[in-house]
Amino acid sequence: MQNETMFAEERKVAIVKYVNEHKKCKVGELCDIFKVSSATIRNDLNELENAGLLKRTHGGAIPVGKAQFELNSYQKKVERIAQKRAIAKKALEWVEDGDAIAIDTGTTTLCFAELLPARKDLTVVTNDIEIASVLEEKTDANVILIGGRLRRGFHCSVGAIAHRCMEGLNVDKAFIATNGISIKNGLTTPNEDLAQMKSTLISIAKQAILLCDSTKFGQTSFARFADLDDIDAIVTDAGLAERQKHEYEQLDLQLDIAELIQGKGE
């Protein structure tokens, strides 16, 4: 039953992605893609509309406002798992024993946090409750959990109290996630409060490393939180197009490409 439920959730995530990429869809074409009945697809579309992730139309669906579209933490976990694990493993190369680091909220950064038992005597600053829990359970790190207003559905703190918690802190490296990256618009995310948190995490770090899967390149979301020259390196997966790879290699930052980990499928 658990496997069937997970498959249903993965299908819904894939439906939302398909609708946003193709601007509209019909029930029939979704049936063909996912090999399920029209009744199942209609139920999926109704649930996704109720969750605010798409808009139902006669016979199909269209996207909600794309600039502010954002899957919640649970939905993000079933997307591009293999890529996230590969990026996390590559990003671990940036961490040395004894480092003080900041970790941004996100599912890729959660994968990264799960690898930190390989490093010793770390101090970790994070606003992500789930990341803090993983570090408490699996590492000997000194964990500083940033307080503030809880962003429901995303397991993280934001707001004025959270910013005050970071006053006077300095870290060696900040590991940052993003919803969109482009040469024109920099780094962006759907939520303004979260954008401010990301900007502050970057500001307290000597080096900022962006953990970003290849599908985020060329994308722009609602709120800008950094320019490309505010970060020192990008860790991404091998799905990055050669044209994009060449464009970003021309910039004054390091581009690390993570190869997929064998045996770790999505």
Concatenated DSSP letters of 77-112: HTSSHHHHHHHHHHHGGG--TT-EEEE-SSHHHHHH
Q: Where in the chain is the domain with CATH 3.40.50.1360?
A: 74-258
Contacts 24+ apart (CB under 8 A), 143-146: 144/169
Quick one: what percent of the chain has pLDDT higher than 70?
89
Tens of pLDDT, residue by residue over 35-74, are: 999 999 999 999 888 877 788 998 999 887 554 445 544 4
**Single pTM value for the model:** 0.73
Return the CATH class of domain 2-64: mainly alpha
Mean pLDDT of 237-247: 92
Q: What's the pLDDT score for residue 265?
A: 42
Tens of pLDDT, residue by residue over 161-210, are: 999 999 999 999 999 999 999 999 999 998 899 999 999 999 999 999 99
pLDDT surpasses 70 at 109: yes
Q: What's the pLDDT score for residue 24?
A: 86
Nearby residues of 87 by Cβ (< 8 Å), 6 or more positions away: 108, 111, 112, 211, 212, 213, 235, 236, 237, 258
171, 100 contact by CB (below 8 A): yes
Q: What's the pLDDT score for residue 70?
A: 53
Structure-block tokens of residue 161: 């109290």
**More confident call, 195 vs 260:** 195
SS3 for 172? Answer: strand
Q: Where in the chain is the domain with CATH 1.10.10.10?
A: 2-64
How big is the chain, counted in residues?
266
233, 205 contact by CB (below 8 A): no
Rounded Cα distance between 28 and 251, Å, is 45
Q: What is residue 248's DSSP assignment?
A: H
**First and final CA of the chain: distance in angstroms?**
19
Q: Which amino acid is at 133?
A: S
Q: What's the pLDDT score for residue 48?
A: 86
Assigned CATH for 74-258: 3.40.50.1360
